A and B are shown apart, each in its own frame.
Chain A
Amino acid sequence: MTTPLHIGFIPLVDAAALIVAADKGFTAAEGLDVTLVREVSWSNVRDKLNIGLFDAAHLLAPVAIASSLGIGHVKVPIAAPFSLGINGNAITVSPTLHAAIMAELEGDRFDPMATALALARVVAARRKHGAEPLTFAMTFPFSTHNYQLRFWMAAGGVDPDEDVRLVVLPPPFMADSLANGQVDAFCVGAPWNSIAVDRGAGHILHFVSDILVHAAEKVLAVRQSWADRHPQVLNGLVRAVARAADFIAQPENRAEVAQLLAHPDRVGVDAEIVQRTLDGRLRISPDGTMRESSRYLLLGKKQATRPDPAQAAWLYAQMVRWRQTPYSAAALETATAVFRPDLYEAALGGGGGAAVEASGAVGAFAGPAFDPANIAGYLADFDIPRRV
């Protein structure tokens, strides 16, 4: 007997493990009849998962945490037994802003501290001339993109709530908005940065792996209550997705994966663009300049699939830092418990990927080392947001 499952996803390259698991028959091999449902907004994915229209979802890691804490929305405890992707976002800026930052740059252009300081000088100069504040777009209030942009600019002395405008924009609108001047920069996942560069609308300034070496991005999310009721089904789903992740990690399979993702019902962009992001070899400028990084997007690669609770703690710390929620020890515990290495191991035994080098190794380019046991102390070391 097969179990029908409805799984929601947003058309992004880091939904690859779910797409490959369903379209290569790995879920069917586990006795699961998976219907993947392509969605247009994270709000829809969250709500449909919450009310049970979806059994599982491709979800922004911070949304899983916000949902479990009931921040900004109904409280529905979520369990994340599998990490669908690490890193993969990039910051893209308009040609005008790129030129302005490069003119102010002192040091290496891939050094995020150098670019953040240059941005601070650009922002100060604009203020002096009475220009409108710069507008930065990201994908959702509870998103890695939001926190990564904030972390980067704040390190250079730019207060994201005071010195610039930070707005939410759906990824498919980003390249157009950059081209028509509605926004000056954005942080988004693959393939949207490449699409903006190909259109000549922007330059990729940073891979987020410049800012954080290891940042939890999307998770496989299920309702905690569903996980409790269907442990065997969940095990089967995790095994199927893990098998897909292994498949994706093999370089010889990338062309096939890119083809699967390119299908109009899936990510729906050219296979060649998908392949670039899988290869971590991106065109970063309309003039054709390429940049390669083995850390750009980690899908299924070593240490990328096992959820690390310290990553959840770091994301919770960002929610506190940017005043989305007040700190509490109980909330930290709830947030941390959303990431479930125990469920990962229950499904995969010793066969899954190894734990991260050192727990809590987000590897940020600035600020003190992250200590999940002392979030208040960690946050006290940042100057922004400025305390009033």
Chain B
Amino acid sequence: MTAEQSPKIVIVDESPIRAAILREGLEEAGYTGVVHLSEMQSLLARIYALDPDIILIDLENPSRDILEQMFQVSRAVRRPIAMFVDQSDAASIQASVDAGVSAYIVDGLKKERIKPILDLCVSRFNAFAKLQDELDRTKSALEERKVIDRAKGILMKVKGLTEEEAYVLMRSTAMREKKKIGEIAQSILTASELLK
């Protein structure tokens, strides 16, 4: 940051990984003084104590409604806070809701100063969602692999097949029934459980 001081940013997010990704992005972009709050107890008191210029919160967080309270005139608030909404720029609101993040700002903070921060948030949140998605897919692929191996073992034992024959049997059954091999394997496990 050049002439102007870096705004104080608070990230409210129960996901430590996503918060770390976001904080890293902000620090790379030259924003110092980024604080992450992951604990939702006494959230408002802690925010007031930090006195931030910008608060970023993920939309999966029920505590978002707690932040809405800051719009209300109250003696507890030293500086009025508003949700960042730019009526002239519906696309940026849409992008942030789609990405799953929302920004609250100290009233009067200039739009030009907030926009790059919000854009960065949106791209980091999207990057995180993509990562999460890949992780989920890898996890379920691994799970499926385990199920197939166990089903193969059952077929080998019960029907006296080789490993290859057991696999071919499951694959041809899957093709005939228009199902995934993982589903066939799962039904073999279920059936063998029931017949125990």
Q: Does B68 contact A (CB under 8 A)?
A: yes
Q: Please state if B61 and A40 are interface contacts (CB–CB under 8 Å).
A: yes
Q: Please state if B68 and A40 are interface contacts (CB–CB under 8 Å).
A: no
CA distance A41 to B102 in the complex (A): 12
Q: Please state if B68 and A170 are interface contacts (CB–CB under 8 Å).
A: no
Q: Please state if B73 and A173 are interface contacts (CB–CB under 8 Å).
A: no
Closest Cβ neighbor of A324 among chain B residues: B72
29 CB contacts below 8 A, A to B, read A40-B59, A40-B61, A40-B64, A41-B62, A41-B64, A42-B65, A42-B68, A43-B64, A43-B67, A43-B102, A44-B64, A47-B93, A48-B97, A51-B93, A72-B71, A73-B71, A73-B83, A74-B93, A75-B87, A141-B72, A161-B74, A167-B66, A168-B66, A168-B69, A169-B66, A170-B63, A173-B40, A323-B73, A324-B72
B contact residues around A168 at 8 Å (CB): 65-66, 68-69
CA distance A47 to B90 in the complex (A): 12
- CB 8 Å contact bits of B11-51 with A (1 = contact, 0 = none): 00000000000000000000000000000111010000000
Q: Does A139 contact B (CB under 8 A)?
A: yes
CA distance A87 to B29 in the complex (A): 50
Pick the contact of A141 from B60, B69, B90 — CB < 8 Å?
B69
Q: Please state if B65 and A170 are interface contacts (CB–CB under 8 Å).
A: yes
Pick the contact of B59 from A44, A140, A161 — CB < 8 Å?
A44
Q: Does B120 contact A (CB under 8 A)?
A: no
Segment 70-105 of A: residues with Cβ below 8 Å from B: 72-75
B contact residues around A40 at 8 Å (CB): 59-62, 64
B contact residues around A169 at 8 Å (CB): 66
A188 CB to closest chain B CB (Å) equals 12
B80 CB to closest chain A CB (Å) equals 11
B contact residues around A73 at 8 Å (CB): 71, 83, 85
Q: Does A376 contact B (CB under 8 A)?
A: no
Known: A140-B65, A141-B68. 7 other contacts (CB 8 A): A40-B61, A47-B97, A51-B97, A73-B85, A167-B69, A168-B68, A170-B65
